[in-house]
Chain A
Amino acid sequence: MANVLRFRRGFRFQWEPAQQCHVLLYPEGMVKLNESAGAILQEVDGERSVAELVAVLEQKFPEAGALANDVCEFLEHACNQHWLEVS
């Protein structure tokens, strides 16, 4: 939870108007992200810790309740995919 994550070099996160979703772009590839994945990755800035990130998201989506488990699970997936790394 204390870890600070950032996008790995060569991985770019951006909003695609034509697809109406966030995507993650990398060498010759692209992942379309669903809404929650997009919302989480949007907060990854290489400065905030995972705990801070969870707090920001919980504040942004109060109706969603406690988010720590879901967010951590997704971030772990993103790290295993080598989209993110510990900065």
Chain B
Amino acid sequence: MTISSAASTDKAGHSVGPPLWLLAELTYRCPLQCPYCSNPLDFAQTEKELTTDEWVQVLRQGREMGAAQLGFSGGEPLVRPDLEELIAEARSLGYYTNLITSGLGLTEAKVNAFAAAGLDHIQVSFQASDPELNNAIAGSRKAFEQKLKMARAVKEAGYPMVLNFVVHRHNIHQMKDIMSLCERLDADFVELATCQYYGWALENREGLMPSKAQLERAEAEVNEFRAQLEASGSHMKLIFVTPDYYEERPKACMNGWGSLFLTVAPDGTALPCHSARLLPIEFPNVRDTHLKSVWYDSPGFNHYRGDAWMPEPCRSCDEKDKDFGGCRCQAYLLTGNADNADPVCSKSSYHDRILAARKAADHATVGIADLTYRNAENSRLFFKS
């Protein structure tokens, strides 16, 4: 999410502001099997999902604290039969409500019913610009056609249309086709996001990460397309999220730990970002903790606030207010210690691991069929071992 400000806001000091963005991961259930899914590897082990009433409590508490943006995601949020009810509740509380869906399980009737309930926006995610590749990656034979149909229905119902494509080495050559498809569908916002390598995507990194050459070509194509859009006065906005593995400085992950984002996982675990669950840190559960104390008081949320926790090289670095030392999950996954600088940073003594991944991307031969797909069977392998 982008937050820009027409007013001058005070970024200094470490006083904790309210969580402005609440992500409700309603379920880990999903009919698709994307090999870059951000759900935990052991999602199949997850405890019981929150009930409707429990979600309503979470929504109320979050709104009271000042959350304004609400995302319903998953898994596939459409598998929850109470979705419409939750949308209506959220909208009446004053949230801007976003539904992040694969489009599977969506129908025209639902698109319209959700609009009537007050849903502000539906984001449909695609896996590629043609059915064959799309369906191979999604692990489903009829996904593409359904997605197209639903994208059209979303537009017809008058929603702003946001299309999301996860970009990787097997579809990055389709950039031009993807962008023209979006234009044909009259999308308002298009997110072309390369995978972030946690969870399933890290398992599959070699088979997903584009090479430098692929990336440069794609960037040039996006820039060219964007220039054309601007010249024609088009309202379509194009965002290309490139992999941080090709940067020398990490991203300012989540705008700072516990500064804007609050994720609630299907079982009620509250997290500063949706992948934080993999960290060796204890996080509170909304079933027994009020969202206010989750956010302001819990050790989990306070763990990486401010900068007192930073070891070198971040501690004495003059860029620490800019990137907060990068992503804690990436630091943990690649260096074994979540306190470390994100190894994307060239000042990190583990930066060679990023360089090695770049090199591997130049020669990778992993095919689409060789990827580990996100499904319950594979997931069980992860928590048995």
Contacts and interface: CB of A to CB of B under 8 A. Distances in A.
Are the chains A and B members of one assembly?
yes
Interface of A: 8-12, 14, 16-19, 21, 23, 25-35, 37, 82
Contacts, number: 81
B66 A29 contact: no
B235 A10 contact: no
Nearest to A14: B94
Contacts of B159: 9-10
A33 B7 CA distance: 6
B4 interface: yes
Interface string B1-36: 111111111000000001010000000000000000
A31 B235 CA distance: 18
Contact of A29 (B3, B7, B94, B123): B3
B335 interface: no
B69 A30 contact: yes
Nearest to B64: A18
A30 B20 contact: yes
A10 B160 contact: yes
Contacts of A37: 6-7
A16 B68 contact: yes
A28 B69 contact: yes
Contacts of B20: 19, 30
A21 B189 CA distance: 26
A68 B109 CA distance: 46
Interface in B96-119: 96, 98
A32 B9 contact: yes
B68 A9 contact: no
B162 interface: yes
A28 B6 contact: no
B313 interface: no
Nearest to B95: A25
A29 B21 CA distance: 9
B7 A18 contact: no
A29 B236 CA distance: 15
B318 to A, nearest CB: 27
B96 A12 contact: yes
B78 to A, nearest CB: 18
11 contacts: A8-B235, A9-B158, A21-B7, A25-B68, A25-B69, A25-B96, A28-B69, A28-B71, A33-B6, A34-B8, A82-B237
Among B8, B96, B120, B237: residue with most chain A CB under 10 A: B96
A38 to B, nearest CB: 9
B121 interface: yes
Nearest to A78: B6
Contacts of A16: 66, 68
Given A32-B5, A32-B7, 12 more contacts: A10-B120, A11-B160, A12-B96, A12-B120, A23-B68, A25-B68, A25-B69, A29-B3, A31-B3, A31-B6, A37-B7, A82-B237
B65 interface: yes
B68 A27 contact: no
A21 B3 CA distance: 14
Nearest to B260: A30
A8 B159 CA distance: 10
Given A27-B121, A27-B123, A34 B189 contact: no
Interface in B33-51: none
B124 to A, nearest CB: 12
Contacts of B237: 82
Given A18-B65, A27-B189, A34 B6 contact: yes
Nearest to B63: A18
